[in-house]
Structure 1
Amino acid sequence: MPRTVDVLLTGSTIPAYAHPGDAGADLCAAEAIELAPGERATIGTGTAIALPDGYAAFVVPRSGLAARHGVTIVNAPGTVDAGYRGEIRVTVLNTDARESFRVEVGDRIAQLIVWPVVRAHFVPVDALPGSHRGERGFGSTGYRGVPTEGDSA
């Protein structure tokens, strides 16, 4: 059986899981808006939550909106900290170059994933220990299965 945690909430809608085993619960719009091509807007969900200490919630895009309409979330994932008590709002972006996208009240606009988190204790040192990757960053694993110089396949 999956592990559960009680998340207190207030608001007009309760985030809901569409299918058994889903990681994300759907967040619905509490206001209607039309997004012109390339436009972004912050949409209220009418929902506020209280997470227990040691948890955070992450607001992530819905794959169907992205695939069918080019609608995504600008700051994905958006982080909801355990101490935050305000309304969860979602900043959406219409990436379609030609078509507007209409959001109606009750439309599922994002997903909320609740995840246990640990707090880091940051320890200053003079040098970091070595690793296989080292300091190689963006593009360090190559492109289309072709490793970059210095990488092992």
Structure 2
Amino acid sequence: MVPVIRVMREDWADPAVDLPRYETVGAAGADIRANLPPDLRVEGIVLAPMARALVPTGLRIEIPEGYEAQIRPRSGLALKHGISLANTPGTIDSDYRGPLGVLLINLGAEPFVIAHGDRIAQMIVAPVVQARFEAAGTLGETARGAGGFGSTGRS
């Protein structure tokens, strides 16, 4: 069964900006676009190097119980301009109904302009498993043990 994500536009949102959509038949992520408030649509949002901005999408979404939406960077923006997400991946829980904003960060050396309607991130819809947590006095042994960061080698 394919989950259905219900999407509602904010009252101020531009209906000409596309809803999230998959750009190719094999795409795992649906592109999300900036939908800027009327006072920012002409000049856009300028993101200085190392600055962050919560970029509005003009959307609210309803995710079915048992699923989440992961918001991830777009590889082209990251490669060409150093634009990423400050909290990647961002998680949208099935019980959240507030505005969908994308927390972008400019890791590049030049200011970057986010224009109205630009594709700024991608959304992955994934199933969720909630675990049960129990206090324990001991943990099972493994070959790796307590080896942490880099403990399994370079490759």
Q: Which TM-score band (shorter chain)?
A: 0.7 to 0.9
1:77 is matched with which residue? Answer: 89
The question of 1:68 aligning with 2:83 is answered: no
1:26 is matched with which residue? Answer: 31
CA deviation profile, 1:78-121 (whole Å, cap 9, x unmatched): 00000000111111111112x11000111000000010011111
**Post-superposition shift, 1:142?**
2.2
Aligned to 2:88, the other structure's residue is in SS state coil
The question of 1:132 aligning with 2:143 is answered: yes
**Post-superposition shift, 1:135?**
1.1
1:122 is matched with which residue? Answer: 133
Aligned to 1:79, the other structure's residue is in SS state strand
The question of 1:5 aligning with 2:10 is answered: no
Gaps of 5+ in 2: 10-14, 37-43
**Post-superposition shift, 1:40?**
1.2
How many residues are treated as equivalent by the alignment?
Answer: 141
The question of 1:15 aligning with 2:20 is answered: yes
Identity of aligned residues (%): 45
Aligned to 2:69, the other structure's residue is in SS state strand
Q: TM-score, normalised on structure 2?
A: 0.86
Gaps of 5+ in 1: 146-153
Q: TM-score, normalised on structure 1?
A: 0.88
The question of 1:104 aligning with 2:115 is answered: yes
Aligned to 1:27, the other structure's residue is in SS state strand
